[in-house]
Amino acid sequence: MQGPDTHSGFKKYISLTRPHTLTASFVPVLVGTFSVLLFAPIRWDMFIAMLIATLLIQSATNMFNEYFDYKRGLDTHDSVGIAGAIVRNGMSPQSVFNFAVTFYVIAALIGLYIAFNSSLWILLIGIISMAVGYLYTGGPFPISWTPFGEVFAGFFMGTVIIMITFFIHTGTLHYFPLLMSIPVAITIGLLNMANNIRDREKDRQSGRKTFVIMVGKPLAVITSAVLLLFCYLFLIWITFFESIGSIFLLLPLLSAPVAFKTVVKWKKGDTPIELIPAMASMGKLNTMFGMLLSIGLLIYGMTGI
């Protein structure tokens, strides 16, 4: 079975960044920024710098993923998914690696600007985050080959980015953005879970020990469903039982039908081809949930209601 169509020219460079995954970068920046409105004015230079740096790091992480998956024989011409710059689009492995390093260098330079205009501690956190992005699929013991890939992805791409974003605007930390980061981190982690559910057979053959492989598809789907339910209940709890809550924080509940459909598609699908709609649905849910939460925070911050 053939994978996605090949790309040439400029399109193959765009596909290299895996644009459908980049909502996992800008949603945390939006959530962190709009959380600031309750406490301080937004520093727009910090917002733009953080957004660009995060997109570059996520894109580079995707490129490292492409490079190391190819080197380890995981990506082939018949692979299903969004990878393919090397095996289908004819890009050399070294050029993909070089692009990733270039993106990292640019992100690091932007990180210097952010650090010198906020706190030098941002440098240390940024270096750790970039190292995790590389080690997710690179190095002798890739994080993505362990049962903790979803946890690392959710924590660093969700919680860490949101807290950094909040800090560079306000110069302080607060439990409110931390609370807001929890459902975002979960949905980002589940985006990885969806990928691992789809690729579980090939991953098993390659020797990976992902959470899905360790517990099996049925329990992985149940875990995902419970976590999605928790995200909605968590926002309801904050809205009605926390003094800092707002009715606008319930806007992500509008994505609940998409969450239900996603779980159904996970349950019904078995082969990689059958699970492509589930993967796409989870991507849609991640974007919809995150954007609705961002809009809710923006309205809350502007009205104080």
CA 237 to chain centre: 24
In the 8-state DSSP scheme, what is residue 6? P
Q: What is the average pLDDT across 91-107? A: 89
**pLDDT given at position 9:** 54
**pLDDT given at position 246:** 95
Structure tokens at 296: 């809710």
Could you tell me the CA-to-CA distances from 9 to 15, 34, 77, 79 in Å, in that order?
A: 11, 37, 19, 21
Q: Which domains does the chain have, with CATH numbers?
A: 10-303 (1.10.357.140)
**pLDDT given at position 202:** 86
In the 8-state DSSP scheme, what is residue 77? T
Structure confidence by residue, pLDDT tens digits, 102-137? 999 999 999 999 999 999 999 999 999 999 988 998
**pLDDT given at position 20:** 74
Using CA atoms, how far apart are residues 151 and 143, in angstroms rounded to an integer? 10
Residue 183: closest CA among 285, 75, 45, 36: 285
Structure confidence by residue, pLDDT tens digits, 22-59? 888 889 999 999 999 999 999 999 999 999 999 999 99
Phi, psi of 246 (to 5 degrees): -150, 150
Structure confidence by residue, pLDDT tens digits, 151-164? 999 999 999 999 99
